[in-house]
């Protein structure tokens, strides 16, 4: 079994946050069996402050599952989700730290 994670975040001033996340999982069958599954999850989101600490977020997520087992037909599944949400932002700077004075 193995997994990988990539997460990137871009802050524009203290108003916008663009974030991308990619997760990959490889699931191998137990020793006494054969076969494997690969699961991928990709997420992209945009959060924008609209007033004070109130923000709106848009998020798109794609999930894929690719399974291969002997004696069974290969199985591929894909699902996409789109979300629009309201968010109360606790940190006024969206989690950014200051490197200056």
Separation CA 11–CA 92 (nearest Å): 12
Whose tokens are 């975040």? That residue is 9
Res. 88: pLDDT tops 60: yes
Q: What was the pLDDT predicted at 24? A: 96
Per DSSP, what are the bridge partners of residue 24?
4, 40
More confident residue, 36 or 99: 36
- Over its C-alpha atoms, the chain yields an Rg (Å, rounded) of 19
Quickly count: other Cβ atoms within 10 Å of residue 68's Cβ: 15
What pLDDT is attached to residue 14?
81
Model confidence over 23-56: pLDDT tens digits?
999 988 766 678 889 999 999 999 999 998 899 9
Express each pLDDT in 14-24 by its tens digit.
889 999 999 99
Between CA 77 and CA 87 the distance in angstroms is: 31
What pLDDT, on a 0 to 100 scale, did the predictor assign at position 15?
Answer: 87
Mean pLDDT for 79-84 is 97
pLDDT at 97 (0 to 100): 67
The pLDDT assigned to 18 comes to 95
């Amino acid at each position: 079994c193995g997994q990988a994670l990539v997460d990137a975040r871009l802050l524009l001033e203290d108003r916008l946050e663009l974030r991308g996340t990619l997760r990959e999982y490889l699931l191998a069958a137990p020793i006494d069996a054969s076969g494997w599954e690969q699961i991928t999850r990709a997420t992209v989101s945009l959060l924008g402050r609209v007033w004070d600490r109130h923000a709106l977020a848009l998020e798109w997520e794609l999930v894929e599952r690719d399974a291969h087992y002997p004696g069974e037909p290969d199985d591929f599944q894909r699902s996409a989700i789109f979300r629009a949400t309201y968010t109360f932002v606790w940190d006024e700077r969206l989690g950014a730290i200051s490197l200056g004075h």
